[in-house]
Each structure stands twice: as structure tokens, then as C-alpha cells.
Structure 1
């Protein structure tokens, strides 16, 4: 899980490294523009969630990622 305040090259590199290792990536961020959301998926994130996220929604997304559901 990456808690992102800014979308930078370093963030995208981290997403890609995790994806290369088959580690599911979830990002938490404060209402990103649609272009940033699309970029997060392009760079390996399986889930992009806006802060503030409800605990039940967060738990469900984590469970789905751990189960291998890429539509989390």
C-alpha cells in the first residue's frame, strides 16, 4: 500500500518495481485527477483509493488483492 501525497517519477518507479516482483499495489491518495488515477494503473497499481477511505472498503480491497483479484 502506497500512501501518496504527490505523483512523482519515484512513485511510479516504486509501483513498477513492486509489479515486477508480483506484489499487488494499492495506492491511497486525496482525490487525484483522472489522469493521475490512469497513470497509477498504467504503472502497476491494481487499486487506487481516495482518502478518506472507509475501513470496511479498505479491508475488502486488501482481501481482494491478496486473493489475486485484480479488479479490487
Structure 2
């Protein structure tokens, strides 16, 4: 009996980046729930779909992004924050809101994939 594919919620305001990341993860055998906006994330969280991991690109969002992170934490969905900038304040806010870690762009795909595999074990 095959196991259900693991679901990864991906939030990215940049449609091109969202498409690339979705295609990459699907090629690795994951099922992806792409989200372009906070409302898409809210819909995914309110659905009956089990989300195994979330990847949250905070670029282009205001401070309301942290409310989404808090919701993920409350629903016990592990997540990583992705940011174009590396600032201690972003890292601190990410961890304070329940993120497992912060990834900075550009992302090295091999290491990124290894991290995802480890988190989904």
C-alpha cells in the first residue's frame, strides 16, 4: 500500500518563484499547495488537507505575515521562513513565531532538498 504523498504548503508572492518552487518540489514527489497571498494560506489551513510542512517566503508581506506563522504554529504545522535579506531581527521574529529556521535567498537546491527530507521524516 502506497503512502499518501506529503503535502507542502508554499507561500510566495512572486508568481514566477512560486511556480518554479512548486515544479521543483513536485518533481521530487511532493504534493504542493501553492499560495500567492495570505488568503490562499487561510483557505489551505481551513481545508481538511493535512499539511506536513510549510515554506513561507516573507518577501513583500507586511507584519501580518507573522499572524500566518502563528496560525501554522498553533496548528502544529512545521514551517521554514524564506527571506531575501539576512537580518538578525528577521531570524529572531521567525523563531519567535514558531519557525524551525530561516532560509536566505538564493537557495542552494541540493541543501534545500536535504533539509526538507530531514524535516519530513
Q: Give the alignment's TM-score, normalised by structure 2.
A: 0.51
Structure 2, unaligned runs of 5 or more: 1-54
Structure showing greater Rg: 2
Deviations 1:31-51 (A, max 9, x none): 231011111100011021000
The structure with the greater share of residues assigned to strand is: 2
Superposition map of 1:8-27 within 5 A: 8-27=62-81
Distance 2:73 2:62 in 1: 17
How many residues align? The count is 67
Find the counterpart in structure 1 of residue 92 from structure 2: 38
Q: Give the alignment's TM-score, normalised by structure 1.
A: 0.81
Shift of residue 27, structure 1, vs aligned partner: 1.2
Distance 2:62 2:86 in 1: 13
User: Contact 1:24/1:66 (CA < 8 Å) preserved in 2?
Assistant: no
CA RMSD of aligned residues (A): 1.4
Structure 1, unaligned runs of 5 or more: 68-72
Distance 2:96 2:61 in 1: 13
User: Contact 1:7/1:36 (CA < 8 Å) preserved in 2?
Assistant: no
Correspondence for 2:106 among 48, 52, 63: 52
Distance 2:106 2:58 in 1: 13
Distance 2:96 2:62 in 1: 14
